[in-house]
Structure 1
Amino acid sequence: MSGSTMEATQMKVKSAVDAMIDEMDRKYLRDMQKAMFLCSANCCDHKTSSREVVENCVEKCNSGMKNAQRTLEKELGGLQDQLSRCAMTCYDKLVQNFGPDVNKYTESQMVQFNDQLDKCVAVCADDHIKLIPKIKERFAKSL
């Protein structure tokens, strides 16, 4: 794989995912986190409550944020898994085309192989970046 092309593709995906996370943070997570902290602080105001009651109160305050984080992690994990499978399919198709022993490729074949792999993986990246709006939509609905 040509390093610079693959790195550019990885950076493109990373930038798109980072932008989505930033947007979700600004739109939803910060307000949720603020509410969680205020709620938790209120739990600590109950000086006559037992430690267990206060801990349960704080845990209840944290549950919404934990669920949101879990949902986002699941969505991003799914996106990463799908992208990895797509890239592996690109590789497998090229191996089927060029032959199973990469070490026996000529220099010319290696260049062709890498160029085609870069192009195929770039298509995978673009296709998966297009899924981000649906991920944002599902995340927002889950809150």
Structure 2
Amino acid sequence: MAEAIQARVENAVKKSVEELDREHLRKMQANMYKCCTKCCETPSYTMEGAQRCIEQCSLPLQQAQTYVQNELGEFQDRLQRCAMQCQDDLKDLVARGNTNEAMMRSHLEQCLSKCADKHIGILPAMMARMKDTISKYK
């Protein structure tokens, strides 16, 4: 059951990231390549000048990718903290003498499912914020 919960979160994140890639990151990548082509086709640039130009063209995409990775890392950290709280709750049940395995498994699965639902629910706002921030990288 925990695998199904994990798969549900992973699918939601994957779908959101793919949308972000299609709508924003690929356009940025295409713009970067067009800009880099201009750098390479400008005969007045020295070798160093062309390299600096290429680096400048690459900067917005690199910043956007770093930002996305950081946001996804924070999302993953939050999800892990939620799952750890479920584990802690389960330990508290055991400490109070509740050792019915089926009940404990059910409690853990319900808690993990709530974590998944909560985090899937915050994905749209997180993605909107990320899209807004990425659109400012020019």
Q: TM-score, normalised by structure 1?
A: 0.86
Return the alpha-carbon distance in structure 2 between the equivalents of residues 50 and 114 of structure 1: 66
* Structure 1 residue 99 displacement after superposition: 2.1
The answer for the alignment partner of 2:55 in structure 1 is 59
Aligned twin of 2:89? 93
One-letter identity of the residue aligned with 2:4: A
Cα offset for 1:132? 0.6
Q: Quick one: distance in 2 between partners of 1:68 and 1:134?
A: 17
**Aligned: 1:70 with 2:66:** yes
Q: Paired residue for 2:46? A: 50
- Segments ≥4 residues shifted beyond 3 Å: none
Deviation at 1:71? 1.4
Match of 1:129 in 2: 120
Shift of 1:35: 0.4
Aligned letter for 1:78? E
Q: Is 1:139 matched up with 2:135?
A: no
| CA RMSD in angstroms, aligned pairs only | 1.8
Counterpart of 2:103 in structure 1 is 112
Amino acid at match of 1:14: E
Q: How many residues are paired up?
A: 134
Partner-residue secondary structure (3-state), 1:131: helix
Gaps of 5+ in 2: none
- Once residues 63 and 39 of structure 1 are traced to their aligned partners in structure 2, the CA distance between those partners, rounded to angstroms, is 11
- Distance (Å, rounded) in 1 between the aligned partners of 2:54 and 2:126: 29
State the distance in 2 between where 1:93 and 1:52 align.
Answer: 59
Q: How does 1:4-23 map to 2 (within 5 A)?
A: 5-23=1-19
In the TM superposition, residue 50 of structure 1 has moved relative to its aligned partner by 2.2
Matches of 2:32 and 2:13, distance apart in 1:
25
In structure 1, C-alpha distance between the alignment counterparts of 2:50 and 2:125, rounded to whole Å = 38
For structure 1, the residue ranges without an aligned partner over 5 or more in a row are: none
